């Protein structure tokens, strides 16, 4: 893992992305790393665009906003269209194929997983899609020690939902290990 | 003693925790983005320590209740943002005049008016100084990190008690909403200004001889509290010599305790040619620039960060201007503190504003570009 990781979690307000970024930042603190978490959102509680950033570094972090993401999560189409063109090709891009489809230049590494659908169908609760997404991200990047991450999720979850959230996180790992499916709605295209 | 474990904490939360650690037991206010988390945290935490949280009908009432609680003997704080800060001004001036300790937090957002509620700005710095009418003294802090928010809140509560002077904490949306790793010291390690229990028998609320501790109502002393100019017993007066003395009195206490009020910090080259003067979240971008320019490339660049913005660090700026060719002042407004810097640079150094007012933070590249222009 490089010294500095900048993670951008994007989607719609209400998908739990700001909470996911707080959980990730907390896990990173518990893993003894320097971390800064910021967010940007409109006045709405649901709907509208939501973006949150986490910087994890071994050095002290001065400028707190994400400038060059090393990890990008897109949980809806609007965020994919907006942020995907702004990242560098070596950025790890993870998208929720439940909501996102489209094409992109094949110099990018885009990995698509049915994050929200898996939460709904396999766990019966769409609300844990954010923790599932964290599982996928951590499986892909190893940002934080897995066990420390699981403990942090348990501690931060509302009473009685610790196991469910951990299950979602583990399901994210399974999705990642199974790999990107065929029917994912996105396709790489060689630039003309 | 065992070290406290590091935790992830938000700026607004650090403000609430700092206040409680400094002995604040009363919060009254009206929630407003981006300051709401201060109220939320106080609502959660105050009942556990025997404190009182009240959500008032508006910001004016919030300020009034804080003044009332303080004169009743409780350490009190309120938090707001731009629109609410405007509403608090009249009562804030009253607290300065009547010398009632309290702390007012303003988590600045993009204005004027309701502006952009979720976007950061530093547009209230002059309002902090002159928002309430009359020739009043003001203390205002501007934290640049979550930990600074914590300790400056404690300093604010302590100073306000000691000097009987309201203190402002001028946060901004970036620092208020940002979460980062902090290690909060255990409560036993803090310096907290003690309330005075032994008051001389000839105690007067506004003693002409100088600063006297506040004796809360109900503790054996009867006195009058008013926003009118008053004599040493608190009763109204229009007598010119007494009016002058009273105004000197509230200004002189800040001059006398300047060393305890003034927090600034210099990092960078020992003999800088280019200096950056910054406060609040802008300090972080400036620090990133100095890290690269000085620590990595040994360029003659330095940063003076102002944790205390009011009273203005005049001597510090004067000394800096003697040393450098240029002072760059990045601010997330159309240029407010830059005017003060210019005033105390007294023409000894070029003073250059660097402004951003689109609701986004000034980034290191912008500052770096300006620094580069002056180094070449």
Chain-chain contact of A62 with B285 (C-beta, under 8 angstroms): yes
pLDDT tens for each residue of B255-303: 999 999 999 999 999 999 999 999 999 999 999 999 999 999 999 999 9
Beta bridge partners of B266: B304
Is residue A132 domain-resident? Answer: yes
Average pLDDT of chain B to the nearest whole number: 95
Nearest by CB: A37 against B6, B179, B364: B179
Instruction: Indicate if the pLDDT at residue B210 is higher than 90.
Output: no
Give the C-alpha separation, B107 to B83, whole Å: 11
Is residue A191 domain-resident? Answer: no
In our burial notation (b when 16+ CB lie closer than 10 A, e otherwise), range B262-274 reads bbbeebbbeebbb
Mutation choice for A interface testing from B37, B120, B180, B290 by most A CBs within 10 A: B180
Instruction: Give the distance from residue B58's alpha carbon to the nearest chain A alpha carbon, in angstroms.
Output: 20
Q: Which CATH number applies to B263-375: 3.40.1280.10, 3.40.50.920, 3.40.50.1980, 3.30.1360.120?
A: 3.40.50.920
Q: Please report the pLDDT score of residue A186 as a whole number.
A: 62
Is residue A189 domain-resident? Answer: no
Coil, helix or strand at residue A68: coil
Instruction: Indicate if the pLDDT at residue B349 is higher than 90.
Output: yes
Q: Please report the pLDDT score of residue B1 as a whole number.
A: 39
**Which residues in chain A have their CB less than 8 angstroms from residue B174's CB?**
38, 64
Q: Which CATH number applies to B7-189: 3.40.50.970, 3.40.50.410, 3.40.50.300, 3.60.20.10?
A: 3.40.50.970
Give the C-alpha separation, B63 to B90, whole Å: 9
Nearest by CB: A64 against B6, B8, B178: B178
Is residue A190 domain-resident? Answer: no
Query: Under a CB-based contact definition with an 8 Å cutoff, are residues B69 and B41 in contact?
Result: no
Give the C-alpha separation, A146 to A138, whole Å: 8
Q: Please report the pLDDT score of residue B185 as a whole number.
A: 85
Nearest to B118 by CA among A76, A20, A26, A51: A51
Give the C-alpha separation, B175 to B118, whole Å: 12
Share of chain B above pLDDT 70, in %: 96
Is residue A192 domain-resident? Answer: no
Nearest by CB: B291 against A29, A43, A62: A62
Domain boundaries, chain B: 7-189, 263-375
pLDDT tens for each residue of B308-339: 999 999 999 999 999 999 999 999 999 999 99
User: A121: buried, middle or exposed (CB in 10 Å: 19+, 13-18, 0-12)?
Assistant: exposed
Q: Which regions of chain A does DSSP assign to beta strands (E)?
A: 4-12, 34-41, 49-57, 71-74, 92-96, 102-105, 109-113, 186-189
Q: Please report the pLDDT score of residue A30 as a whole number.
A: 96
Give the C-alpha separation, B222 to B238, whole Å: 22
Q: Does residue A22 belong to the interface with chain B, where contact is any CB pair within 8 Å?
A: yes
Chain-chain contact of B284 with A26 (C-beta, under 8 angstroms): no
**Which residues in chain A have their CB less than 8 angstroms from residue B291's CB?**
62
Q: Please report the pLDDT score of residue B193 as a whole number.
A: 67
Chain-chain contact of B118 with A63 (C-beta, under 8 angstroms): no
Nearest to A9 by CA among A21, A27, A23: A21
Contacts of A140 (CB under 8 A, 6+ apart): A71, A92, A94, A111, A176
Instruction: Give the distance from residue A29's alpha carbon to the nearest chain B alpha carbon, in angstroms.
Output: 6
Nearest by CB: B288 against A26, A39, A63: A63
Question: Which residue in B has a C-alpha nearest to residue A32's C-alpha?
Answer: B6
pLDDT in tens, chain A (192 residues): 568 999 999 999 889 999 999 999 999 999 999 999 999 876 666 678 889 999 999 899 999 999 999 999 999 999 999 999 999 999 999 999 999 988 777 788 899 999 999 999 999 999 999 999 999 999 999 999 999 999 999 999 999 999 999 999 999 999 999 987 544 556 655 544
Chain-chain contact of A42 with B118 (C-beta, under 8 angstroms): yes
Three-state SS for A91-121 is CEEEEECCCCCEEEECCCEEEEECHHHHHHH
Chain-chain contact of B177 with A36 (C-beta, under 8 angstroms): no
Q: Does residue A41 belong to the interface with chain B, where contact is any CB pair within 8 Å?
A: yes
Mutation choice for A interface testing from B181, B268, B282 by most A CBs within 10 A: B181
Three-state SS for B241-310 is HHHHHHHHHHHHHHHHCHHHHCCEEEEECCCCCEEEEECCCHHHHHHHHHHHHHHHCCCCEEEEEECEEE
Give the C-alpha separation, B356 to B339, whole Å: 16
Query: Under a CB-based contact definition with an 8 Å cutoff, are residues B362 and B174 in contact?
Result: no
Mutation choice for A interface testing from B3, B6, B7, B8 by most A CBs within 10 A: B8
Q: Does residue A61 belong to the interface with chain B, where contact is any CB pair within 8 Å?
A: yes
pLDDT tens for each residue of B117-159: 999 999 999 999 999 999 999 999 999 999 999 999 999 999 9
Q: Does residue A177 belong to the interface with chain B, where contact is any CB pair within 8 Å?
A: no
Question: Which residue in A has a C-alpha nearest to residue B114's C-alpha?
Answer: A43
| Confidence class for position B219, pLDDT limits 50, 70, 90 | confident
Chain-chain contact of A63 with B285 (C-beta, under 8 angstroms): yes
Share of chain B above pLDDT 90, in %: 89
Mutation choice for B interface testing from A43, A54, A62, A149 by most B CBs within 10 A: A62
Domain of A85, in residue numbers: 4-178
Q: Assign residue A127 the CATH number of its domain.
A: 3.40.920.10
Chain-chain contact of B179 with A41 (C-beta, under 8 angstroms): no
Query: Under a CB-based contact definition with an 8 Å cutoff, are residues A7 and A56 in contact?
Result: yes
Q: What is the ipTM of this complex?
A: 0.90
Rounded to the nearest angstrom, the gap between the alpha carbon of residue B23 and the centroid of all alpha carbons in its chain is: 18
Backbone torsion region of residue A27, taken as left when φ is above 0, otherwise alpha when ψ lies between -120 and 50, otherwise beta: alpha
Nearest by CB: A35 against B33, B180, B284: B180
Residues of B with CB under 8 A from a CB of A: 6-8, 33, 117-118, 174, 177-181, 281, 284-285, 287-288, 291, 361, 363-364
* DSSP-assigned letter for residue B57: S
């Amino acid at each position: 893992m490089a010294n500095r990781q900048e993670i951008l979690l994007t989607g719609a307000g209400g998908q739990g992305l700001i909470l996911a970024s707080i959980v990730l930042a907390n896990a990173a603190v518990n893993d003894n790393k320097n971390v800064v978490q910021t967010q940007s959102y409109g006045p709405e509680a649901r709907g509208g665009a939501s973006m949150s950033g986490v910087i994890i570094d071994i050095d002290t972090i001065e400028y707190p906003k994400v400038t060059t993401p090393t990890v990008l999560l897109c949980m809806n189409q609007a965020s994919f269209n907006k942020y995907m063109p702004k990242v560098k090709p070596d950025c790890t891009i993870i998208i929720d194929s439940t909501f996102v489809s489209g094409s992109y230049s094949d110099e990018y590494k885009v990995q698509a997983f049915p994050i929200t659908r898996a939460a709904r169908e396999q766990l019966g609760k769409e609300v844990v899609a954010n923790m599932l997404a964290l599982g996928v991200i951590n499986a892909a990047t190893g940002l934080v020690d897995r066990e420390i991450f699981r403990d942090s999720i348990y501690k931060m979850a509302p009473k009685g939902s610790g196991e469910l959230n951990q299950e979602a996180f583990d399901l994210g790992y399974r999705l990642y290990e199974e790999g990107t499916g065929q029917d994912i709605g996105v396709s790489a295209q060689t630039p003309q | 003693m065992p070290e406290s474990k590091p935790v992830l904490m938000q700026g607004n939360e650090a403000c609430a925790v700092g206040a409680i650690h400094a002995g604040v037991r009363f919060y009254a206010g009206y929630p407003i983005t981006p300051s709401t988390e201060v109220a939320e945290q106080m609502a959660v935490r105050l009942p556990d320590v025997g404190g009182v949280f009240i959500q008032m009908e508006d910001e004016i009432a919030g300020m009034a209740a804080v003044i009332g609680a303080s004169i009743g003997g409780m350490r009190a704080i309120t938090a707001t943002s731009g629109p609410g800060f405007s509403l608090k001004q009249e009562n804030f001036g009253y607290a300065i005049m009547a010398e009632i300790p309290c702390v007012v937090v303003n988590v600045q957002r993009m204005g004027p008016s309701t502006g952009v509620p979720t976007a950061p700005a530093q547009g209230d710095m002059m309002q902090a100084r002159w928002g309430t009418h009359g020739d009043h003294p003001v203390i205002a802090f501007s934290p640049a990190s979550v930990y600074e928010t914590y300790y400056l809140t404690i300093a604010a509560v302590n100073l306000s008690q000691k000097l009987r002077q309201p203190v402002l904490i001028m946060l901004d949306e970036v620092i208020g909403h940002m979460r980062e790793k902090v290690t909060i010291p255990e409560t036993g390690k803090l310096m907290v200004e003690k309330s005075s229990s032994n008051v001389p028998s000839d105690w007067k609320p506004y003693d002409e001889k100088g600063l006297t501790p506040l004796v809360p109502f109900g503790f054996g002393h009867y006195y009058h509290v008013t926003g009118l100019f008053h004599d040493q017993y608190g009763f109204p007066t229009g007598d010119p010599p007494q009016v002058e003395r009273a105004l000197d009195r509230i200004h002189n206490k800040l001059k006398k305790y300047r060393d305890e009020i003034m927090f600034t910090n210099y990092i960078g080259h020992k003999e800088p040619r280019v200096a950056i003067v910054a406060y609040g979240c802008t300090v972080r971008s400036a620090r990133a620039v100095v890290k690269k320019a000085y620590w990595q490339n040994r360029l003659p660049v330095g940063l003076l960060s102002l944790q205390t913005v009011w009273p203005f660090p005049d001597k510090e700026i004067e000394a800096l201007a003697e040393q450098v060719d240029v002072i760059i002042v990045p601010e997330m407004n159309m240029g407010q503190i830059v005017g003060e810097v210019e005033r105390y640079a007294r023409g000894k150094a070029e003073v250059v504003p660097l402004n951003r007012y689109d609701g986004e933070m000034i980034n290191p590249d912008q500052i770096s570009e300006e620094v580069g222009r002056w180094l070449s």
